[in-house]
A and B are shown apart, each in its own frame.
Chain A
């Protein structure tokens, strides 16, 4: 009983340590935990453009290292998160963001779920109404609703 509990604890500890070991950017960039948190949060939102399905926090490509250095220096220089994001967008375009912004170009894409839902609702309402109408007529005119 206590043995298995101990084992579970040990496993939990090992896994906790493991996460640190697997991290790419292990060195803390800032002594201040607030700045460190901002640094990590921004890194998780920026795409590493060489290895496109990874964030710069996940990648050890030299470009990711360089971009992390830019983020670190900008935070140290007192830039806001938005300023850092704008800096990246100016150079690499919207693609650098993992959470894409809504722009004039992708507005249709952003509104697609709502438009599709509305379109579906319109179709459903029309079909239901037509069926209701057809069943009302059915006793008198069995052909109704057929072409």
Chain B
């Protein structure tokens, strides 16, 4: 009985310590997306290269695809650009760009100078589609399944490590799941 009196506070302290220790290594600015596992918000926006040609999320149904939110004003987007180009060269999935609150000319210049990793780029000049997707800091990269459900979201510049560890397995899984149905 008396031993319990000493052990219980010690255990409570250990539990608190464990929580605080884990907390040290968590990013406080990371906001978990409520969109994961839910249908991706639909959008129809003008294409960056040709305003007469609309880009619609509906056209992408039936295959896994990636939505990358970027802008020429965003430093992290410049950091990840070469990685995106490398990923695009593997032709694993279509990468759709969402050009977020940017200047059309600057964005086109960026793509012609640095290379274009995107299958198509939608221009979200007013940032409304970005709000629908819960975007708060570019670059952000979403993975959408063939059924139009958001599978994963990465907030920060894309790296090959993140792509290989988080995106590729989920893409393969999504492909296997739809393959077995048909």
Contacts and interface: CB of A to CB of B under 8 A. Distances in A.
Interface of A: 49-50, 52, 62-63, 66-67, 70, 89-93, 95, 147
B18 interface: no
B26 to A, nearest CB: 14
Contacts of B131: 66-67, 70, 91
Contacts of A66: 101, 126-128, 130-131
B133 A91 contact: yes
B38 to A, nearest CB: 9
Interface string B110-136: 000000000000000011101111101
Interface of B: 2, 28-29, 31-35, 101, 126-128, 130-134, 136-137
The listed residue with most A CB atoms (<10 A of its CB), out of B31, B127, B131, B136, is B136
Contacts of B136: 49-50, 63, 92
B1 to A, nearest CB: 10
A50 B132 contact: no
B33 A93 contact: yes
Given A62-B101, A62-B127, A95 B133 contact: no
A91 B32 contact: no
Contacts of B28: 52
A63 B136 CA distance: 7
B101, B133, B134: which has the most chain A beta carbons within 10 Å? B134
B99 to A, nearest CB: 14
Contacts of B34: 89-93
Q: Which of A62, A70, A92 has the most CB of B within 10 A?
A: A92
